[in-house]
Amino acid sequence: MKKVFLVIVFCVVFIIAGAVQISADTFLPPQSFVIRSRGGTKVFRWTPSESGVAQACVYRNRRLIYTVDDLPSLGVSADNFTLSRDFQHFVFRPTTGHEIALQFYAYGELIKTHYVRDLVEDMSRVTHTASMAWWHRRIPGEMLRNSQIARNNIFRIMTIEDVIFEFDLTTGEILSRSTYRSPWPRYGLFAGVGTIVVGIIVIIAVKRKKRGGA
């Protein structure tokens, strides 16, 4: 009885400690990075500062084209940006903050902001921590694709409601929205039927073996 009580206490402490750690939102110190175009003629350079903000610069053939100042730096990496092929437009997805979902930039100027409440209908499904709102997830099948360079100037993202939004990267306008249909239920059905068939075959084979041995 004492051991069971100790196990329960340990589990409770572990859960509470995990919750505290999640709510604390511990981030690694921000690091600078670059995103290069195919061929390397265009470069997007992101540089954080000690004040908690960062600067983004775009170069073409080593010549500065434009800069964007005062971007938040906490928890930001290359995965937070998707650029057009000409590097003149990009979308920024902040890691921290509970309200802003996406910010679209053209030639260094902010042209469109989408808020979490604009993209998620049931806000109760959004998980909040001390500084973050978990409102989106990656689209299955696109996780291995180079997400920093957009195809055909279209940016795609899926919300926690399994709704896929497509945006025009040059304007920030929503082009379409659709509900993601996972193929796994169908594959799971096939796997289940296959397992049953294999099981029946094994049972028949075992029974025949027993009869033969008898």
At 165, which CATH number? 2.40.10.480
- Token look-up 């806000």 returns 123
Could you tell me if 149 and 82 are in contact, meaning their C-beta atoms sit under 8 angstroms apart? yes
Q: Give percent of the chain above pLDDT 90.
A: 64
pTM: 0.74
For residue 132, tell me if it sits in a domain: yes
For residue 120, tell me if it sits in a domain: yes
DSSP state letter for 160:
T
pLDDT at 152: 92
For residue 58, tell me if it sits in a domain: yes
Could you tell me if 97 and 114 are in contact, meaning their C-beta atoms sit under 8 angstroms apart? no
Domain hosting 77: range is 27-179
Give me the helices (H) in 36-155, please: 116-119
Count of beta carbons in the 10 Å neighbourhood of residue 23:
12
> Alpha-carbon distance 11 to 9, whole Å?
5
pLDDT at 140: 82
Q: How many domains does the chain have?
A: 1
Could you tell me if 69 and 133 are in contact, meaning their C-beta atoms sit under 8 angstroms apart? no
pLDDT bracket for residue 87 (50, 70, 90): very high
pLDDT at 162: 95
Beta bridge partners of 100: 115
Is the predicted pLDDT of residue 63 greater than 60, yes or no? yes
Q: What is the mean pLDDT of the chain?
A: 83
For residue 37, give the nearest of 84, 93, 104, 78 by alpha carbon.
Answer: 84
Least confident of 9-13, 67-71, 148-152: 9-13
For residue 64, tell me if it sits in a domain: yes
For residue 96, tell me if it sits in a domain: yes
For residue 2, tell me if it sits in a domain: no
Is the predicted pLDDT of residue 186 greater than 60, yes or no? no
202/86: higher pLDDT: 86
Q: Give first-to-last CA distance, the chain, whole Å.
A: 51
pLDDT at 139: 86
For residue 170, tell me if it sits in a domain: yes
Beta bridge partners of 81: 92
For residue 68, tell me if it sits in a domain: yes
Strand residue runs (E) in the chain:
33-36, 42-48, 53-60, 63-72, 81-83, 89-92, 100-106, 109-115, 127-128, 133-134, 136-137, 154-159, 163-168, 174-179
